[in-house]
A = this chain, B = another copy of it.
Amino acid sequence: MQTMYEQMDTAALDAALADLTRQVDEVKAKGLKLDMARGKPSPAQVDISRPMLDLLSSGADLTDEGVDCSNYGCFEGIPSARRLAGEFLGLPADQTIVLGSSSLNIMQSVLIHYWEKGVPGYTPWSKLDRVKWLCPAPGYDRHFGITQDLGIENVPVRMTETGPDMDEVERLCAADDSIKGMFCVPKYSNPTGITYSDETVRRLATMKAAPDFRIVWDNAYAVHDFTDTPDVLANVFDLAREAGNEDRILGVASTSKITFPGAGIAFFGSSAANVGEVANTLKVGLISANKLNQLMHTRFLPDLDAVRAHMRKHAEFLRPRFACVEEKLEEGLAGTGCGTWSHPHGGYFVSFDGPEGSAKRVGALCAEMGVKLTPAGATWPGGNDPHDTNIRIAPTYPSVEELSEALDVLVLAVKLVSAQLAREARA
């Protein structure tokens, strides 16, 4: 599709450029300092979890169904927390482990485990000449960082409206045994906000792949709905088990965006065999996780119903912010041909795509105008967005007022860069 600037005659385009440049200069003079870079809840949103802090006082019962949470032991996690993890992931409680605050840390530990020791019966990945990993893109930069850090070759696969391009995923996995795994954020995917279709989930669970192929199923936004029409994700564990692939799926999640970011509890779940094996290796480096934090969490959020009720409070903060993004982009860019964006029902991000070759320039221009965005390219492995179009908008941290200002800046930057690109193509 052509942008409105490409359709202008050169005189009109030059006039538009002059006008946009003047507007940019005006914004620069304001000395703004706004941040739309990372998926953090706003301070007021975080505060809704403060009542949890009153639940473990000095006089509290610090046991959980007979387990003393104030001393060493119970490596796999306390009973109430494993039950919550099971509900959360869609697995029996005894197929879960509840650990410290970070699901990213669990993913890294489990991949290092396979890297060093291999999937039982197969060569350790570190001993193979080449190990590749599928990275649906745009995706989550910290995922890509884990495999990159191990020396695994990240292979991008384009995201679609229904999840990763499954024809491509199936073709690659069937043809290449060196592909050992894949990252998935199956619900409200970071950053596109889409939820994998039932068909995508089924194909991931059943497709042909290397016998030691593993899917990191990072259900980071499992309950992070903010509309009345939440997406519904199929249970990948059931589908994989039915297909005899139950060891394929490594489920993770955490309460970082439910209670306190960085201070929540994190869940791992998989087949019984995987859980036993992963527990044995993780035990080498951990006596037991912070069970008092687990206890505080399950007293506050004893089951998934309680979690959902709590998430409705979070939604009150998220809904106006996502509405603001939609409104500002629609108002500023609809019909211009300068961009498309996602319309998520949950999660933490809006994914924006501008004209080819625009994203890095838009990011730099926004920075000059005082608005910090996630670095352009970050949503692709190695920071390499092949068409340089994608920008991740993280609207949750700023106030609606700040967000509104920041989006005006983004719209202006997209327009100026689009006009510049149109002009340069003519020069």
Contact surface of A with B, Cβ cutoff 8 Å: 38, 40-41, 43, 46-47, 50-54, 56-60, 68-73, 100-102, 104-105, 107-109, 112, 116, 126, 142, 145-146, 149-150, 256, 260-263, 281, 284-293
Which chain B residue lies CB-closest to A74? B262
* A101/B289 in contact, CB under 8 A: yes
- Bound together, the chains give a CA A256 to CA B288 distance in angstroms of 11
Q: Please give, as numbers and ranges, the residues of chain B lying within 8 Å of A105 by CB-CB distance.
A: 285-286
* B109/A285 in contact, CB under 8 A: yes
* B46/A287 in contact, CB under 8 A: no
- Bound together, the chains give a CA A292 to CA B112 distance in angstroms of 28
* B284/A102 in contact, CB under 8 A: no
* B281/A149 in contact, CB under 8 A: yes
Which chain B residue lies CB-closest to A280? B149
* B107/A149 in contact, CB under 8 A: no
- Bound together, the chains give a CA A119 to CA B166 distance in angstroms of 41
* B285/A263 in contact, CB under 8 A: no
Q: Name the contact of A287 in the complex, choosing from B102, B149, B260, B287 (C-beta under 8 A).
A: B102
- Bound together, the chains give a CA A101 to CA B369 distance in angstroms of 41
- Bound together, the chains give a CA A53 to CA B52 distance in angstroms of 12
Q: Please give, as numbers and ranges, the residues of chain B lying within 8 Å of A149 by CB-CB distance.
A: 281, 284
* B287/A70 in contact, CB under 8 A: no
- Bound together, the chains give a CA A108 to CA B113 distance in angstroms of 12
* B150/A101 in contact, CB under 8 A: no
* B293/A263 in contact, CB under 8 A: yes
Which chain B residue lies CB-closest to A39? B72
- Bound together, the chains give a CA A46 to CA B69 distance in angstroms of 11
Known: A54-B58, A60-B53. A263 touches B287 (CB 8 A): no
Q: Name the contact of A285 in the complex, choosing from B54, B108, B116 (C-beta under 8 A).
A: B108
Instruction: Supply 19 A–B pairs (Cβ within 8 Å), ascending by A.
Output: A40-B71, A43-B68, A53-B292, A54-B58, A69-B263, A71-B262, A72-B256, A73-B262, A100-B100, A100-B101, A100-B289, A102-B285, A104-B287, A105-B286, A109-B285, A142-B287, A262-B287, A262-B288, A290-B290
Which chain B residue lies CB-closest to A117? B149
* B286/A116 in contact, CB under 8 A: no
Q: Name the contact of A40 in the complex, choosing from B38, B72, B256, B284 (C-beta under 8 A).
A: B72
Instruction: Known A-B contacts: A70-B260, A102-B285. Give 5 more (CB < 8 A).
Output: A53-B56, A69-B263, A102-B286, A102-B287, A104-B285
- How far does the Cβ of A47 sit from chain B's closest Cβ, in whole Å? 8
* B146/A100 in contact, CB under 8 A: no
- How far does the Cβ of A415 sit from chain B's closest Cβ, in whole Å? 32
Q: Name the contact of A292 in the complex, choosing from B38, B59, B142, B260 (C-beta under 8 A).
A: B260
Which chain B residue lies CB-closest to A260? B70
What 3 A-B pairs are tightest by C-beta distance, nearest first?
Answer: A108-B285, A50-B58, A262-B288
Which chain B residue lies CB-closest to A296? B53
- Bound together, the chains give a CA A72 to CA B45 distance in angstroms of 13
Which chain B residue lies CB-closest to A72? B261
- Bound together, the chains give a CA A59 to CA B142 distance in angstroms of 33
Q: Please give, as numbers and ranges, the residues of chain B lying within 8 Å of A285 by CB-CB distance.
A: 102, 104-105, 107-109, 146
Q: Please give, as numbers and ranges, the residues of chain B lying within 8 Å of A100 by CB-CB distance.
A: 100-101, 289-290
Which chain B residue lies CB-closest to A59? B50
- How far does the Cβ of A58 sit from chain B's closest Cβ, in whole Å? 4
Q: Please give, as numbers and ranges, the residues of chain B lying within 8 Å of A142 by CB-CB distance.
A: 284, 287
- How far does the Cβ of A80 sit from chain B's closest Cβ, in whole Å? 16
Q: Name the contact of A262 in the complex, choosing from B51, B116, B291 (C-beta under 8 A).
A: B291
- How far does the Cβ of A284 sit from chain B's closest Cβ, in whole Å? 5
- Bound together, the chains give a CA A263 to CA B265 distance in angstroms of 12
Q: Please give, as numbers and ranges, the residues of chain B lying within 8 Å of A56 by CB-CB distance.
A: 53
Q: Name the contact of A291 in the complex, choosing from B40, B104, B263 (C-beta under 8 A).
A: B263
Which chain B residue lies CB-closest to A116? B150
- How far does the Cβ of A189 sit from chain B's closest Cβ, in whole Å? 19
